[in-house]
Structure 1
Amino acid sequence: MNRIFKTFIYAALGLVMVSCMNDNETSTKTDRSVQYFPNMYRSAGYETYQEAEIFPGNVEAQKPVEGTISRGWMPYDYENNNEGYASAKANLNNPLPYTEANLAKGKELYDIYCAVCHGTSGNGKGILVKNEKILGVPSYDSREITQGSIYHVMYYGINTMGSYASQTSIEERWQIAHHVDALTRDLKGEEKREFVNGDDAGKAPVMEAPADETQQAYSNDTDNNSTTTEGE
C-alpha cells in the first residue's frame, strides 16, 4: 500500500513540476523527441499561403514573374463601355470556322450557361423567366446583334447578366456565339449557314481582337499552357 501511495505522490510531483515550467525549461510539442502522429504537428506538404523559409518572403503564394503572361493568353482590346460594345459589334468577327463540331459544342455550352434565362430557342423564355425570377430578357430576333456583340457581352456581361469570362474559355465563347447566331437566324426565318468542311475547318486562329502582329505571335502558342515573356 505504501508503495502505491509513494508512486502516486512521485507522479503527482512530477506533473506539478512539468506544468510549472516555462517555455525555456521545457520543450514544445514540435520539439519532442517522440511524437504520435507527427503529421499533426508538421504538415507533410506545403499549404496555400503558409509561411516557409523556402519561399521568397516566407510566403507560399507568389505572383507571376514580372513581364510574363500565360502562354496562349489573348488580349481583348475592346473596352467595357458603350463604345467598346459598338466597336466589337461592328468589327469583331468569329475566328472559329463554322463546323458541325463547333456548332454542337456551342449548343451544349449554351444549354448549360444561357438557356436558363434566354430559353433553348433564344426567345427569352428560359425557366427563370417563366418562373418570374428574372424579367426583361429579350428575344434574339428583337434586336440587331452580331457574333462580335455576343462575344463582348459574354466577356463583360451587360445589365443584370454577369460575365462568363471565368466560366468559359476563348474558344468556348466563340462556339456559343456560333450557336446564338444560328438561333437568331431561326427566329428570324433566315437561311441557315453552310458548314465549313475539309482543310478549311482548322485554318482560323482563335483571337479575341482584330489581328495584328502581336496577336498573331500569341496565336502561335495557343496549344501550350506554359508561360512566356511579353514580346517573345
Structure 2
Amino acid sequence: MKALYKIALLACVSAVATSCFDKSRPNYQYFPNMYEPVPYETYSEVPTFANGKEGQLPAEGSIPRGFTPYEYENSTEGYELAKANLVSPLDSAEVDLPRAEQLFTIYCAVCHGDKGDGKGNLVKREKFLGVPNYKDRQITEGSVFHVVTCGLNSMGSHANQLSQEERWQVAHYVMKLRSEL
C-alpha cells in the first residue's frame, strides 16, 4: 500500500511540474545578459568610447612599454651626429659575439658579405651594386647603429626586424669585422 501512495505522489508532483510549462514562454534564465546580448547595428556609433571614434588614442607624449625613443633624425645631419656622439650602451660582457654573428649573417651578409668586404650573394649576382667594404669607410659603432636603425641610400631600415639591443650587437660585430679587414 505504501508503494501505491508513493507512486500516486510522484504522479501528482510530475503533473504539477509539467502543467506549468509553456513552450511559448521559456523558463527563467540565469544571467540573461549572456543569452540576450545588446544588439548594435553594424557600422553604427557605439556609446563605448568617449571621443566618438572607433578607439581611444594613447595619451599625448606617451611611450609604449619597452620602447626607447631614438633621438637622432633620419638625415645626413642625424647620421653625422650619431657618428660623432652615439656610443653603445652594452659593455663587453653583454656583447654576445656568436649571436651578433648570427644576426649579421641573417640580415647583413647577403649584401655586405660574411667578411664585410661588400661581396655578398646579391652583389655577386649583380642585384645591388656599390655595397661598401667596411674597411674603406670611416665608421663608428654609432654610425653603424644609425644606418641599421634608419637606413641609408639603398639600404632600408632594420629597426622592425631587430630590437635595439640586437642592433647594437650587429654594430659591435661590424666593428669587429672592420678591424679584421
- State the shift of 1:176 in Å: 0.5
1:146 corresponding residue in structure 2? 140
Distance change in 2, residues 1:114/1:91 (3 Å): same
- Identify unmatched segments of 5+ residues in structure 2: 1-36, 38-42
Could you tell me how far apart the structure 1 residues matched to 2:150 and 2:101 are? Answer: 21
Question: Please, which of 166, 170, 179 is the counterpart of residue 172 of structure 1?
Answer: 166
Secondary structure at the aligned position of 1:149 is classed as helix
- State the shift of 1:178 in Å: 0.8
Secondary structure at the aligned position of 1:155 is classed as helix
Could you tell me how far apart the structure 2 residues matched to 1:165 and 1:78 are? Answer: 14
2:89 matches 1:95: yes
- The one-letter code matched in structure 2 to 1:84 is G
Could you tell me how far apart the structure 2 residues matched to 1:80 and 1:101 are? Answer: 26
1:104 corresponding residue in structure 2? 98
User: Could you state the TM-score of these two structures normalised by the residue count of structure 1?
Assistant: 0.54
2:113 matches 1:119: yes
Secondary structure at the aligned position of 2:63 is classed as strand
- State the shift of 1:105 in Å: 1.6
Secondary structure at the aligned position of 1:111 is classed as helix
How is 1:1-150 mapped onto 2 (pairs within 5 angstroms)? Answer: 53-56=47-50, 57=52, 59=54, 61-99=55-93, 102-150=96-144
Distance change in 2, residues 1:88/1:105 (3 Å): same
Q: Any conservation in 2 of the 1:88–1:148 contact (CA below 8 Å)?
A: yes
Secondary structure at the aligned position of 1:116 is classed as helix
User: Could you state the TM-score of these two structures normalised by the residue count of structure 2?
Assistant: 0.69
- State the shift of 1:50 in Å: 10
Could you tell me how far apart the structure 1 residues matched to 2:129 and 2:152 are? Answer: 14
Q: Any conservation in 2 of the 1:98–1:178 contact (CA below 8 Å)?
A: no
- The one-letter code matched in structure 2 to 1:74 is T
Could you tell me how far apart the structure 2 residues matched to 1:171 and 1:98 are? Answer: 13
Secondary structure at the aligned position of 1:70 is classed as coil
Secondary structure at the aligned position of 1:132 is classed as coil
Secondary structure at the aligned position of 2:159 is classed as coil
Give every structure 1 segment of 4 or more consecutive aligned residues whose post-TM-superposition deviation is greater than 6 Å: none
- State the shift of 1:76 in Å: 1.9
2:180 matches 1:186: yes
Could you tell me how far apart the structure 1 residues matched to 2:116 and 2:131 are? Answer: 10
Q: Which moved more, 1:75-84 or 1:167-176?
A: 75-84
Query: C-alpha deviations, 1:25-56, integer Å up to 9, x for none?
Result: xxxxxxxxxxxxxxxxx9xxxxxx99755345
- The one-letter code matched in structure 2 to 1:112 is I
Could you tell me how far apart the structure 1 residues matched to 2:93 and 2:175 are? Answer: 13
Flag the structure with more relative contact order, 1 or 2, with Cα contacts below 8 A and sequence separation at least 6. 1
Identity score, percent: 55
- Identify unmatched segments of 5+ residues in structure 1: 1-41, 43-48, 188-232
Distance change in 2, residues 1:142/1:178 (3 Å): same
Distance change in 2, residues 1:100/1:69 (3 Å): closer
Q: CA RMSD, aligned part only?
A: 2.3
Secondary structure at the aligned position of 2:80 is classed as helix
Aligned length: 139
Distance change in 2, residues 1:51/1:178 (3 Å): farther
Could you tell me how far apart the structure 2 residues matched to 1:50 and 1:98 are? Answer: 57
